[in-house]
Amino acid sequence: MTQPASRPRVALFVTCLVDMQRPSVGFAAIKLLEAAGCDVEVPRAQTCCGQPAYNSGDRATAADLARGIVEAFSGYDYVVVPSGSCGGMLNSHMPHLFDNDPNMKARAQALADKTFELMSFLVDERGMTEFGAQFDGSVTYHDSCAGLRELDVKTQPRELLANVEGLSLVEMKEPEICCGFGGTFCVKYPDISTRMVSDKVADIVSTGAGTLLAGDMGCLLNMAGRLQREGHGVKVRHIAEVLAGMTGELPAIGEGSAS
């Protein structure tokens, strides 16, 4: 494809789960963004998007973190997030933390307007259709709730997967049903969460796919954890790992180096 003439400066919002659990997803995101003609930077002054506070009713802490994010990320052309959930926080929720502060609200809204989830940025903003990746096997794709319902991430990951050589996508019966993660929900209501993720796992397993992909680490950790607890051999990965061609050297989530 033809690249736009100028290279936009993109700030990567790594997300706390990628930072701690799965750094490779961050490197995969950088690789994909660079392939899409972007100059990628990773602002140091980032920690978490604030959802744990925001969704626990602690608006003040969420607003404090949001101020830091606005400060650190405002100077870029785009902010890209390898997560629909954290992307949705920046894009759909953060401006409302400043409903009583017009100045901050305008700045948060300006940031929100240039914040994108990784897959939708690559396809909708950069017009990418493929990355020359190869993956031998069948996969199924889970639509994470916030990406799907707050950011309209639905067709973009599928478009990109369709052009991965050797990959076949087998859809679940209900790919849009919540996996039961829900941030702190999964530890506050473990029995409900476990029942929900068990239903999800049954749907995943019934596809016969060897690998489960999604675009959000929270959902992925939850589904991987349940698949493994039930003894299924389905591998679990962030979609960026597949598109960036990293699956060769990188064990699947929760698999360690033994497998």
Partner 1 sequence: MQINSPNFKARSTAEIANTGLQKALVRTRPRFPAARAAAVEKLPEFEQLRDIGRDIKNHTLANLDFYLETWERNVLNAGGHVHWASTAEDARKIVLDICQRVGAKTVTKGKSMISEELSINEHLEKHGITPVETDLGEYILQIRKEAPSHIIAPAFHLNREDWEESFRKVHTDLPADRTFNERRDILIEARTRLREKFLAADVGITGANFLIAETGSNVIVTNEGNGDLTQTLPKVHIVLASIEKVVPTLEDACNMLRLLARSATGQDMSVYTTFSTGARRPGDLDGPEEYHVVVVDNGRSAMIGTEFQEMLRCIRCAACMNHCPVYQTVGGHSYGWVYPGPMGSVLTPSLIGVDKAGHLPNASTFCGKCESVCPVKIPLPKLMRHWREREFERHLQPMGVRTNLALWAFVAKRPGLYRLATRIAAKGLALLAGRKGRFSSLPFAGGWTKGRELPAPEGDTFFARYAKQQRGEA
Q: Which of residues 50-109 bind partner 1 (CB under 8 A)?
A: 50, 52-59, 61, 64-65, 68
Q: How far is the CB of 57 from partner 1 (least distance, A)?
A: 3
Q: How far apart are CA 209 and CA 235, in angstroms?
A: 9
Q: How far is the CB of 209 from partner 1 (least distance, A)?
A: 19
Which one of residues 3, 47, 155, 206 is an interface residue with partner 1 (CB under 8 A)?
47
Which one of residues 23, 127, 132, 166 is an interface residue with partner 1 (CB under 8 A)?
23
Cβ proximity to partner 1: between 82 and 157 the closer is 82
> For residue 121, what are the contacts with CB-CB under 8 A and spacing of at least 6?
33, 36, 78, 80
For CA atoms 111, 13, 76, 130, the dihedral sign is negative
Which one of residues 107, 225, 237, 247 is an interface residue with partner 1 (CB under 8 A)?
225
Cβ proximity to partner 1: between 3 and 188 the closer is 188
Which one of residues 119, 123, 128, 178 is an interface residue with partner 1 (CB under 8 A)?
178
Stretch that binds partner 1, among 2-10, 114-122, 158-166, 175-183 (CB under 8 A): 175-183
Q: Provide the mask over 112-151, with x wherever binding to partner 1 is found by CB under 8 A and - wherever it is not.
A: ---------------------------------xx--xx-
182-211: contacts with partner 1 (CB under 8 A): 182-183, 185-199
27-46: contacts with partner 1 (CB under 8 A): 27, 42, 44-46
Number of chain residues interacting with partner 1 (CB under 8 A): 71
In the numeric block, which tokens belong to residue 24? 């490779």
